[in-house]
Amino acid sequence: MKHYTNPNSAIWHGRITNKYLYLHEKVRCVPLSEISEPAKKSITLLGYACDEGVKRNQGRVGAVKGPEVIKNSLGKFPNHLANTVLLHDAGAVVCKDADMETAQKELSKAVTTLLKKKQFPIVLGGGHDMAYGHYHGIKNYLDSKKSPQTIGIINFDAHFDLRQNTHGNNSGTPFYQIATESKKENSIFNYLCLGIRKDANDRILFQTAKDLDVTYVLSDTFQIQFLEEINTWINAFIKTVDKVYVTIDLDGFSSAYAPGVSAPSPMGFTPQIVLECLKTIIASEKLISLDIAEMNPKFDIDGQTAKLAASLLHHIIHTIY
């Protein structure tokens, strides 16, 4: 595959115990083509090494290195997974010659393959343009079943990413593209955004969200003291769909927690509210796949953003299984 690289075992290192006390000792590096349907529960990490969409969207480039940095940080975290749970690193989809569209197609195929092989995919980016490929990977998998199921997208983000793609696709257009295709297929566009900032979206984007009947929670309400109300919205949204795809954009967090992103701001949300919301989503048992976007090591400080992404992953993998 031109747009794929095998996993790099050298990035997985840390304290040696020989007792699988740390995740670098637990993880298995397996090329995508060699992933098999497990007898046990299994999680597969897949990188999306592409920031072409960020470049097109006039953001800070550097997220292409995000997947490896997140994996490296995660490897140093303690392992509390049961022996009956497998953890794979399946390498990364890569963007060659600025061909983001082909990278998205390859990501879609990879996600579909992982789901067919009974894996729980977690995609690490990379620009948020990966959401377009990731969504279609889930959709293709569900459409292949005798009884197709509906997908609800929950996006933790400061931005709607509903920019019109009149002048091409980028990291700000994925959900507009999905909405447009859903309309053509006469299907419902199920999209919930948590953490939207008025200072990060212009009035056209708010109008687009209204026109597309998008449900969203503004940043001034997306706070821990309003958790009960937020969970009510999340649960109401989840009830309307069969499966949930979660995407976490690291630039939604305050730059106090995530300086290493493509579009930083001190006005973002906190890790605590995201972790609590993830508990609610996972408890629904409808979560089918998840990704973390916009990790930009070029602008990180003391690995802080990578540690945040790894902490989120640590929480997720120990909660779903």
Is residue 159 a known part of a binding site?
yes
Task: Indicate the angle between helix axes 271-283 and 227-238, nearest 10 degrees.
Answer: 40
Instruction: Provide CB contacts within 8 A for 43, sequence distance 6+.
Output: 85, 86, 87, 88, 119, 120, 122, 317, 320, 321
Paired residues of 291 in beta bridges:
123, 247
Give me the amino acid identity at 107: L
Strand spans (E) along 77-209: 85-94, 120-125, 151-156, 191-196
Extract the tokens encoding 311: 């902490």
Is residue 157 a known part of a binding site?
yes
Is residue 249 a known part of a binding site?
yes
> Of the candidates 280, 306, 303, 286, which has an alpha carbon nearest to the alpha carbon of residue 120?
286
What is the three-state SS of 224-293?
HHHHHHHHHHHHHHHCCCCEEEEEEEHHHECCCCCCCECCCCCCCECHHHHHHHHHHHHHCCCEEEEEEE
Paired residues of 124 in beta bridges:
47, 292
Paired residues of 86 in beta bridges:
42
Residue 305 C-beta-side C-alpha neighbours within 13 Å: 33
Write down the residue that tokens 């796949």 correspond to: 289
Binding site feature residues for Mn(2+):
128, 157, 159, 161, 249, 251
Residue stretches of the annotated binding site = 128, 157, 159, 161, 249, 251
